[in-house]
Amino acid sequence: MQCYCKSGLTFSHCCEPLLSVLEVAPSAEALMRSRYSAYCVGDVLYLQATTHDHSWSDEELKFIQDWADNSIWQHLEIIDFSEKMVEFKAYYIFDGKQHVHHEKSSFLKVNDMWKYVDSVVFEDKVSFLRNEKCICGSGEKYKRCCFKKLNTSAKGVNDAVL
Ligand SMILES: [Zn+2]
Ligand SMILES: [Zn+2]
């Protein structure tokens, strides 16, 4: 299967060896991609382990786990990168709404392992035309693909039942 990070490689030749800690990320960009894939599979411990200051509280862990698990991760777009910086946009549906997370992250190599340090987050609004090709790469138009998942998150369904 294609890797979650949309590198064009298969999962087993891209982020899987990093997530299963068989290999270390060869670059900050590779680490960033693997962290996106970790969100897709809900591997919050990997996110914690690859963060430079990973003294996360239980509440922070739970918040990130909820975000990862309750989002439909559609697409990762790398905007720019250098040795220690990656700027990207992650597209996802959360709470029945289309979102884009636009972030410029900085990384540091500690004991030969790349770690995420911190980031600047840009407040981008996202909207897609219904007849555009869907951002998730399915080849379908947005209206026939991810648009249908809007307002149908677990929470949306639960609210409708109530
Ligand atoms: Zn990947
Ligand atoms: Zn889609």
> Which parts of 1-153 fold into alpha helices (H)?
16-19, 28-41, 44-49, 58-69
Distance of CA 98 to the CA centre of its chain: 14
* Ligand nearest, relative to CA of residue 12: 1
**CATH classification for the domain delimited by 11-128, as one of 3.90.226.10, 3.10.450.50, 3.30.70.1400, 3.40.640.10:** 3.10.450.50
Give the integer Cα–Cα distance in Å for 39 and 110.
22
Tokens linked to 47: 């996110």
The residue type of 115 is K
Name the residues around ion ligand 1, CB cutoff 5 A.
3, 5, 7, 14-15, 33
Look at residue 125 in the predicted model and tell me its pLDDT: 86
Write out the H or E segment, with its range, that includes residue 156.
helix 154-161
pLDDT at 153: 54
Contact 50, 116 (CB under 8 A): yes
Mean pLDDT of the chain: 91
Nearest ligand, CA 137:
2
Kind of pairing, strands 97-110 and 113-122? Answer: antiparallel
Nearest Cα to Cα of residue 142 among 83, 98, 95: 98
pLDDT digits over 108-119, tens only?
999 999 999 999
In the reported structure, the alpha carbon of residue 86 is separated from the centroid of ligand 1 by a whole-number distance in angstroms of: 15
Find the 104 Cα to ligand 2 centroid distance in Å.
24
Report domain extents, the chain: 11-128
Mode of pairing for the β-strands spanning 71-82 and 85-94: antiparallel
Q: What is the DSSP letter of 129?
A: -
Which ligand approaches the C-alpha of residue 132 most closely? 2
**pLDDT tens string 21-31:** 999 999 999 99
Q: The whole model's pTM is what?
A: 0.88
